[in-house]
Chain A
Amino acid sequence: MNAALLIISGTILVSTLVGVYAGRRVKMNLENWTVGGRQFGVVLIWLLMAGEIYTTFTFLGASGWAYSKGAPTYYILIYGTLAYTLSFFILPELWKLGKRHGLHTQPDFFIKIYRSRALGVLVAVIGIVSILPYLQLQLAGLGFIVEVASNGAVGSKLAIGISFILTCVFVYTSGIRGSAWVSVIKDIMMIAAVAIVGLGVPRIYFGGIGKMFKAIIAQKPEHLVFPGAAPSMDVLWIMSTVLLTGLGFYMWPHVFGSAFSAKSEKVIKRNAIIMPFYQIPILLVFMVGFTAFLVLPGLKNGDTAFLALVQKTYPSWFLGFIGAAGAVTAMVPASILVLFAAALLAKNVYQTGFNPEAGEDRIMRLSRAMVLVVMTAALALALFFPNALVNLLLIGYDGVSQFFPGVVLGLFWKRVSRAGVVCGLVAGIALVIFLVFGGHDPFLGLNAGFVALAVNAVITVGVSLLAKS
């Protein structure tokens, strides 16, 4: 067994133990399992939300974009910051409502505000359909990182199988607490990894970040301004994309739901204030991609740039450390995605749709059973049909963003009506499908999801005003 493999498997094992242990001392009911008993302070909420945001995409995708597309990768810095700013205003109201009415999930919110179980089921289904491909992406990233980092000693399928089953074990036992505590390990490792590599490689090859950028400006300055090497991603596309993703960010069912875990609205506001600091690691990830752009030109797939550069620069045990950090970085978001997919299925498809009388204990048991169902489905897709959901991934963000008008107007505008929200939501989703799959994205230089969101908002407001209930 080589050193890299030892580090990777050790980390995965320790993370699982921490995750299981996190739930040991609490009696597991639905409230504790899904929203941590609404007891999380600033630190745990921060870890939890950071756990959701910093996924394998942060490692592979952000550096990959810096490498192959250039400036468009900056959008990641922007949309996160916009999302946190919005969260400062929106999440405290949401939290208060959740506390008052004992809400656990996003569909719970829609059912409460719009008094419609059908709308709740619709929101749950859109949520699950958006979560599944996102989960797949995490698993694929995990498999890829571990396979490369272990130098092929562990194949990607084996890596996915083992770490995902272990992830589901701590989801099953500990719920959201498990994810938050494993996030501690993940954050320390991930920040250490990107700090070492992100500060290290520009220094090793160029003598510093400034000198590295100077070299790019001398060689190819257009790589560092929009649209970089991606002509369809010009300024207008970036503007519409950061608006769409910034607005849509907290509309992901798992991110939305984690707001309910906070202890008080103050915790949420303070968290919103400090979240932008968490963008710094992303900047460091960019540095790796930009350095690779000069040092390793001609890679076929930009997403391999991070690992390829580490492989070229550092000893193999360090590559193992990166692999371990990458694996936990996939496990944490995967755990939260599984948890909320299971909770949506049990609470908002089964209970809301078919059996409103079902007791909470029953829903809790069913949620846990659904963890196994989601796990089996996701594993089967990841191992046997890795490309089945690729198309859905394209519309995941566009899809969940369509909840935005219903959520924000529901919180702040008394006149918004159920009919308005249903019409807006259906029109928004339909337009997303038509534009993206019809090859009209970008549409007039704008992100198609943004166009759909604008239409959705206009329809929601218009129908609400016309059909006074």
Chain B
Amino acid sequence: MRKGTRFALLLGAVPFLMLVFALPFVNRAEPVILGFPFVLFWILLWVALTPLVLFLAYKIEKKFNPPDDEEKR
């Protein structure tokens, strides 16, 4: 597997960790943050951060993986 792809996959695991496997630890109504019950705030936070994480993965892939034929055309 190419280096960029490996980094990108690691980043891709982040939303899964935060939005699935962290759930048992954040299932609380308090503290209320920005008006939202805590668990909802947590979910919103990671929904909002996911584009950032994927953008980073996109940049890293571009940097480490040489463009293949498809993109050269």
Q: Mark A388-411, 1 if CB is under 8 A from B, else 0.
A: 000000000000000000000000
A274 & B51 in contact (Cβ 8 Å cutoff): yes
Chain A interface residue number, banded: 35 or more
When C-beta atoms are compared, the residue in chain B nearest to A88 turns out to be B54
**Complexed CA–CA distance, A22 and B53 (Å):** 35
Decide: B46 and A81 in contact? CB cutoff 8 A. yes
C-beta contact mask, A173-184 vs B, less than 8 Å → 1, else 0? 000000000000
B62-73 Cβ-contact flags toward A at 8 Å (1 or 0): 000000001100
Interface residues of B in 1-40 (CB under 8 A from A): 8-9, 12, 15-16, 19-21, 23-24, 27-30, 32, 34-37, 39-40
- Kindly identify which residue among A82, A221, A279 contacts B29, using a CB–CB cutoff of 8 Å: A221
A242 within 8 A of partner (CB)? yes
Is there contact, CB below 8 Å, between B51 and A82?
no
Residues A89 and B35 in contact in the complex (CB < 8 Å), given A81-B19, A239-B20, A269-B58: no
A226 engages B23 (CB within 8 Å): yes
Q: List, in ascending order, chain B residues with CB within 8 A of A211's CB.
A: 35
Interface of B is mostly: helix
Whether the Cβ atoms of A239 and B28 lie closer than 8 Å is no
Whole-angstrom distance between the alpha carbons of A272 and B58 in the complex?
Answer: 10
B61 vs chain A, min Cβ distance (A): 8
A-B CB contact pairs (8 Å), 24 listed:
A71-B39, A71-B40, A74-B39, A74-B43, A78-B20, A78-B47, A81-B15, A81-B46, A82-B20, A84-B50, A85-B12, A88-B54, A89-B8, A89-B12, A96-B70, A211-B35, A221-B29, A221-B30, A224-B40, A226-B39, A239-B23, A265-B71, A273-B55, A276-B48
Chain B positions within 8 Å of A, measured between CB atoms, are 8-9, 12, 15-16, 19-21, 23-24, 27-30, 32, 34-37, 39-40, 43-44, 46-48, 50-51, 53-55, 57-58, 70-71
Binding site for B on A (CB under 8 A): 71, 74, 77-78, 81-82, 84-86, 88-89, 96, 208-211, 213-214, 217, 221-222, 224-226, 235, 238-239, 242-243, 264-266, 269-270, 272-277, 279, 283
